[in-house]
Structure 1
Amino acid sequence: MADTETTHDAVPRYARYVALGDSQTEGLGDGDDTTGLRGWADRLAETLARHNPGLRYANLAVRGRTAEQIRARQLAPALALRPDLVTVVAGMNDLLRPRFDPDEVDVHLRAMYAAFTGQGALVATLTFPDVARISPLARPLTPRVAALNARVRRSAQEYGVVVAETADHPVVTDPRLWSQDRLHASPLGHARIAAAVAHALRIPGSDDTWAGPLPTPYPAPRGWRAARTELRWAGTFLGPWLGRRLRGRSSGDGRTARRPELLPWATESGQIVGVDDRN
């Protein structure tokens, strides 16, 4: 594995980490475009940097991208960076579109898995939660999520890709782990995703506590309050999203990766780069 060392206790060490994906990997829901995004990939880089002095990290993810677009626009630049660790998370934007073919998504996932593992990199990914447990209006998407997860697992096993199994734990659909749009994780949700991937990678100090419930139960609205909440969400977030789809537009139009080059994650003083301590 390129530029990867192994300690006496077989803990891998990484020099170059590259993240590919869409809005979740870009970091939407964790910070904003004005103050700066953080996101689970940044948080994972922070964890890696504690054990890998000099770690360099690039994030090529762009919101709105489908699996095909991620392969077409992010794969070649990522390969050119010669990473030894890569995260590839794709397929959610495909799943949300009217026409969804899980086998087509799998073709693009497999191509990316093959390219990176063929270059000697370790690849990690994750499974997706049932969005109907986040929003009842999304119940028709449940079979799609199951189909996508099945292909992620199967292809990951074939190519030796590490999978963070986030799909089936009840906590991943706790509303407090999601932003108001219910499409992107909240800062707490991004932190849990990063912890799940770190645990799957067996990073020192990581464990399965990310999968545990929050200390207090979520007071879910009921009756007319629940209905009003759903209607407000549909009008505020679902409607505009559908409008963009009907116009053939994407939230990622005109956008480029926010961290396209491999840059050191920590300064010489040890201060972490790009982290807002308030999150």
Structure 2
Amino acid sequence: MPATSRSYASYVAVGDSFTEGMCDDLLPDGHYRGWADRVASALAGEHPDGEFRYANLAVRGKLIGQIHDEQLAPAAAMGAELVTLAGGLNDVLRPGCDIDRVERLLGRCATDLRASGATVVLFTSTDPTRRMAGGARLLPTILRMKAFVQELGAREGIAVVDLFSAPCFDDRRLWAEDRLHLSPEGHRRVAEGVLEALGRPAAFDWRAPLPPVAPPGRAERLRADARWLGTHLGPWIGRRLTGRSSGDGRPPKRAELLPYS
């Protein structure tokens, strides 16, 4: 259910590359900004006293089991008033995904974080079928996850940002060149969706389609596909075959709940 509008003095973001902010604008410290930082910035603006605190424990490539084992306890211990939780899509992208286990662990994370006193925000996945090759294969599992997340969202203190039902995410301009992570415009829209779920008045319609543009020509599409295959898909497959992850050995970008301005 939508969260009742209230002031939040502390916020912890939990998840994988989606929440880490991959492919948004780079910050001076070399980290990506991301929608969670954008949400933190907006909430910090409601606290001119400088008392707002923010942590981002998300690390790219993490599976739901790793999010549960590595991020859940630290996030709950921080006692933040608000927690965003996104995870499970990396599992769904892998062949042989154990969706029962994904739902069990995601549900446990949401329940434990809610028990810590936090308002919890969850997300449905976007619909991959109209922009991603092979997306139809993933759709049944993504629809099952969507239904599960919406069931969790019916509980008091848990809100859901429904990205699946926002057709603007069919537009490739909301996605980075790797076709897996959001572009800066995509991050801006997700941040607005979170703020709306928290009861903030809309600054713009984050679901609205982008202005139409002429589609790329065949030669441009072929060049883009070849670049994607060599630069992004090939290395991704290589990591899967060798059991490696892009997040191996990478610490969270904001591991402590500290003042944010």
Kept in 2: contact 1:199–1:208 (CA 8 A):
no
- 1:229 pairs, out of 224, 236, 242, with 224
1:15-30 equivalent positions in 2, closer than 5 A: 15-30=9-24
Alpha-carbon distance in 2 for matches of 1:151, 1:160? 16
Q: How many equivalent pairs are there?
A: 255
**CA deviations over 1:95-134 (Å, ceiling 9, x no partner):** 1111212221111111111111112110001111122322
Give how far 1:172 is off: 1.4
1:192 is aligned to: 189
Structure 2 counterpart of 1:45, which letter?
Answer: A
Give how far 1:173 is off: 2.2
**CA deviations over 1:187-233 (Å, ceiling 9, x no partner):** 11101000001001112x3356111112x214333546434533432
Kept in 1: contact 2:118–2:157 (CA 8 A):
no
2:208 is equivalent to residue 212 of structure 1: yes
1:6 is aligned to: none
**CA deviations over 1:143-200 (Å, ceiling 9, x no partner):** 2222221211122324641001111221112111111001110111101000001001
Alpha-carbon distance in 1 for matches of 2:243, 2:100? 23
Alpha-carbon distance in 2 for matches of 1:129, 1:220? 22
TM-score normalised by L of structure 1: 0.85
Give how far 1:15 is off: 1.3
TM-score normalised by L of structure 2: 0.91
1:144-155 equivalent positions in 2, closer than 5 A: 144-155=141-152
Kept in 1: contact 2:9–2:81 (CA 8 A):
yes
Kept in 1: contact 2:13–2:55 (CA 8 A):
yes
Kept in 2: contact 1:113–1:156 (CA 8 A):
no
Give how far 1:16 is off: 1.1
Give how far 1:23 is off: 0.5
More relative contact order, 1 or 2 (CA 8 Å, 6+ apart): 2
1:45 is aligned to: 40
- 2:163 pairs, out of 156, 161, 166, with 166
2:121 is equivalent to residue 124 of structure 1: yes
2:108 is aligned to: 111
The verdict on how the C-alpha distance between 1:72 and 1:159 changes in structure 2, with shifts beyond 3 A counting, is farther
The verdict on how the C-alpha distance between 1:113 and 1:144 changes in structure 2, with shifts beyond 3 A counting, is same
1:242 is aligned to: 237
1:98 is aligned to: 95
Alpha-carbon distance in 2 for matches of 1:234, 1:147? 29
Partner SS state of residue 154, structure 1: helix
Deviates more, 1:20-29 or 1:94-103: 94-103
Deviates more, 1:34-43 or 1:192-201: 34-43
Kept in 1: contact 2:17–2:58 (CA 8 A):
yes
Which structure 2 residue ranges, 5 or more long, are not aligned?
none
The verdict on how the C-alpha distance between 1:132 and 1:239 changes in structure 2, with shifts beyond 3 A counting, is farther
Alpha-carbon distance in 1 for matches of 2:24, 2:232? 17
1:73 is aligned to: 70
Give how far 1:52 is off: 3.2
Kept in 1: contact 2:57–2:255 (CA 8 A):
yes
Kept in 1: contact 2:123–2:161 (CA 8 A):
yes
Kept in 2: contact 1:30–1:38 (CA 8 A):
yes
Kept in 1: contact 2:31–2:253 (CA 8 A):
no
Q: Following TM superposition, where does structure 1 have runs of at least 4 consecutive aligned residues deviating by more than 4 angstroms?
A: 222-225
- Over aligned residues, Cα RMSD in angstroms? 1.9
Give how far 1:37 is off: 1.4
Deviates more, 1:250-259 or 1:23-32: 23-32
**CA deviations over 1:5-34 (Å, ceiling 9, x no partner):** xxxxx7301111000000111111113486
Alpha-carbon distance in 1 for matches of 2:156, 2:240? 33
